[in-house]
Amino acid sequence: MTTTADDTSQVADDAPEVAARRAVRRTTEHLLARQHSEGWWKEPFRTDVSYDAHDMFLRQLLGEVDDRVVAASGRWIRSQQSADGSWPLVFDGAGHLGVTIQAYVALRFAGDQPDEDHMRRCAAWVREQGGVAAAQLTARVWLAMFGWWSWDDLPEIPPHIMALPTWAPLNIYSFSSMMRPALVALAVISAHRPVRPAPFGIDELFATSAASAGTHSAAGTRERVFAGLNTALRASLQVTPRPVRRTATRACARWLIERQEVDGSWGACTPMTVWAMLALHLQGYASDHPVLKAAWRYLAECDSWPEKDVREIQTVHSPVWDTCLSINALLDAGLAADHPALVKAADWLLTRQADRPGDWTVRRPGLAPGGWAFQFHNRSYPDLDDTSEVVLALCGVAHPEPSRIDAAVRKAVRWSLGMQGKDGGWSAFDVDNTSTLPGKLPFFDFGEYCVDPPTADVTAHVVEMLAARGMERHPRTRRAVRWLLRQQETTGSWYGRWGVNHLYGTGCVVPALTAAGVPRGHDSVRRAVGWLVSVQNADGGWGEDWESYQDPARAGRGPSTPSQTAWALLALLAAGEHDSAAVRAGVCWLTERQTDAGSWYEPQFTGVLVPGAVAAQYGHYARVFPLMALGRYVRSQGA
């Protein structure tokens, strides 16, 4: 059945369970229609425009400028500018200084002039924030490559870091897998200190000395703490024999080449790939070298053209994540477990399982591979989040060759158990990657997120997966449950590392706890329910904005969104609240806002790569999570 705009009022007047049934049917049809012929699902993955700027900068530095691409990228960046002249990290968010500076420079390369209105507004906003001197480190690194900032005023990243043994503090494996390739690439870039002067200046982005001094003082405290160490390190590098320096940078290059994926990327994402390409170029690799040719092909595959002559960079593709979530949502919706679409999706997932050791073997050298990564081609960095959801999906499908499913699942469970941290929790990519030192160095703008400690959301997904395998009483599962209970906030919520924020964490943890046998009447579950009810919006939905990562008072607060409303409903339904007023109101909010196509409109960024620094908009979240929640609601009603 397809509901049109003319009968929307009728849907709103229906009982929640009737409207939910109708919405589930429509979204099921919508989702099935969007499956790729090979079996996977994938929707756009959007971040801020700084990564579009990085792509433009790379082309300028490597002399690979395509006028059509530059113009089209400029149109996209220009379209995302806020009214005050800035660019935000998230939809409808506050301006971000580093992103804004990079967007401005990218538009200058696209031909925009400083006296144009949108550029004047931008430059004025930047100066008000303290100018270039107050910007985040990444922006100033790029500016140094064009001669607008001094390399002497940037932290040194010695390539000799490659020589540190794995037991040494600040060896490359003490950084998270998300930061590691960038760290190695930046060590090479820092050693070469490239400068390719641009044909224009950006003096208009520098604040007056008085204005910039105060802001830079606040922004650069951590860098000043390490200024003395940085000076000493630079001095030691200057007297290091050239052969030693060359050996160190070559070691970095070898490390990068060994980790290039079959699609030509590093980490199957454009930010890592751009840094690695620049590092290898500086090491003497020409653009037609097979390594860089493959990387250029990958960047071309990350092009997205939402309109004619408008080009947006997809920072990452998410087919594994989108596909396993789609399977689980369709199963929640009541689709037959042997439906051809689900079997085809399972077949595709089976081809994506990691079959080779990755960086995780540094801490688990004897552990056989068995996980899944997020992207099409990323066998080096599988993660526990994708692995858990894939196993849940595969176990729900009635596959005609169950032995293939069983073999893959056994490998995944073994790998997951082997990746449990010593405290009982699970991280995304690594195990016991918890050093506090990397976050204190001024190498990145990410602070404590330079490492990969256990998180409640990832641990919850692993627990839910183990419970689905009948392992809820397994000692490792019980340890993880105890860890999750200890992580609960005093408010009753859980912090969300990979989704915004406490709504995501709580939406992950409560279903996992109840699946693992924690009674619905348990104090932790009841406190979570109380918190969710207390932050429900007056319109019946739930929302939490990005600012909650900086302001704890914003936890669970923000305009209602489809994905976040679904997360709250998933937790409440798992807690046995299917007949509560809060659940009925949340269900009504979703059913009343379903589009004619069977999806939901969600421009907000509810995904996270680095809290407070890199947000993400998953195009698939506004489909799969509402379908999961409504499907489970319908099932709970026996409707």
Are 165 and 171 spatial neighbours (Cβ–Cβ below 8 Å)? yes
CB-based contacts of 410, cutoff 8 Å, min separation 6? 370
Kindly report, residue by residue over 403-457, the tens digit of the pLDDT.
999 999 999 999 999 999 999 999 999 999 998 888 777 767 777 888 999 999 9
Query: Range of 622's domain?
Result: 1-14+491-639
Q: How far apart are CA 349 and CA 393, in angstroms?
A: 9
Kindly report, residue by residue over 299-357, the tens digit of the pLDDT.
999 999 988 899 999 999 999 999 999 999 999 999 999 999 999 999 999 999 999 99
Is residue 221's pLDDT more than 80? no
- Examine the domain organization and report whether 108 and 214 are in the same domain: yes
- Examine the domain organization and report whether 8 and 69 are in the same domain: no
Q: How far apart are CA 412 and CA 398, in angstroms?
A: 18
The answer to whether residue 358 sits within a structural domain is no
- Examine the domain organization and report whether 8 and 122 are in the same domain: no
Q: Which of 262, 295, 313 is the last residue of a domain?
A: 313
At 276, the pLDDT band (50, 70, 90 cuts) reads very high
The answer to whether residue 21 sits within a structural domain is no
Q: Give me the residue label for tokens 């299917």.
A: 578
The values of phi and psi at residue 83, to 5°, are -60, -30
The answer to whether residue 242 sits within a structural domain is yes
Is residue 185's pLDDT more than 70? yes
**Secondary-structure breakdown of the chain: helix, strand, coil percentages, each rounded to the nearest 5:** 55, 5, 40
Helices vs. strands in the chain: H and E counts, helices first: 25, 5
CB-based contacts of 132, cutoff 8 Å, min separation 6? 101, 126, 139, 140, 143, 148, 149, 202, 205, 206, 207, 212
Which regions of 348-421 does DSSP assign to beta strands (E)? none
- Examine the domain organization and report whether 182 and 250 are in the same domain: yes
355 is catalytic: no
Q: What CATH number does the domain containing 581 carry? A: 1.50.10.20
- Examine the domain organization and report whether 169 and 232 are in the same domain: yes
Token pair for 584: 């009925």
* Predicted pLDDT of residue 245: 78
- Examine the domain organization and report whether 245 and 300 are in the same domain: yes
Is residue 2's pLDDT more than 80? no
The answer to whether residue 324 sits within a structural domain is no
- Examine the domain organization and report whether 138 and 8 are in the same domain: no
At 525, the pLDDT band (50, 70, 90 cuts) reads very high
Q: Could you give the angle at the alpha carbon of 258 between the alpha carbons of 252 and 259, nearest 5°?
A: 95
- Examine the domain organization and report whether 4 and 109 are in the same domain: no
Three-class secondary structure of residue 305 per DSSP: strand
**CA 506 to chain CA centroid, nearest Å:** 18
* Predicted pLDDT of residue 445: 72
At 225, the pLDDT band (50, 70, 90 cuts) reads low
Q: How far apart are CA 108 and CA 252, in angstroms?
A: 33
> Nearest Cα to 492, choosing from 478, 474, 510, 477?
510
Question: What percent of the chain shows pLDDT beyond 90?
Answer: 81
The answer to whether residue 230 sits within a structural domain is yes
The answer to whether residue 291 sits within a structural domain is yes
Q: Which of 264, 286, 313 is the last residue of a domain?
A: 313
At 388, the pLDDT band (50, 70, 90 cuts) reads very high
Q: Which of 262, 283, 313 is the last residue of a domain?
A: 313
Total domain count for the chain? 2
pTM for this prediction: 0.92
* Predicted pLDDT of residue 238: 60
The answer to whether residue 426 sits within a structural domain is no
- Examine the domain organization and report whether 59 and 2 are in the same domain: no
Of 170-174, 211-215, 350-354, the poorest mean pLDDT is in 211-215
Of 16-25, 143-152, 210-219, 262-271, the poorest mean pLDDT is in 210-219
Catalytic residue among 322, 385, 432, 452: 385
Are 108 and 78 spatial neighbours (Cβ–Cβ below 8 Å)? no
Is residue 213's pLDDT more than 50? no
The answer to whether residue 186 sits within a structural domain is yes
- Examine the domain organization and report whether 52 and 2 are in the same domain: no
- Examine the domain organization and report whether 2 and 149 are in the same domain: no
More confident residue, 527 or 242: 527
* Predicted pLDDT of residue 214: 36
At 145, the pLDDT band (50, 70, 90 cuts) reads very high
- Examine the domain organization and report whether 6 and 150 are in the same domain: no
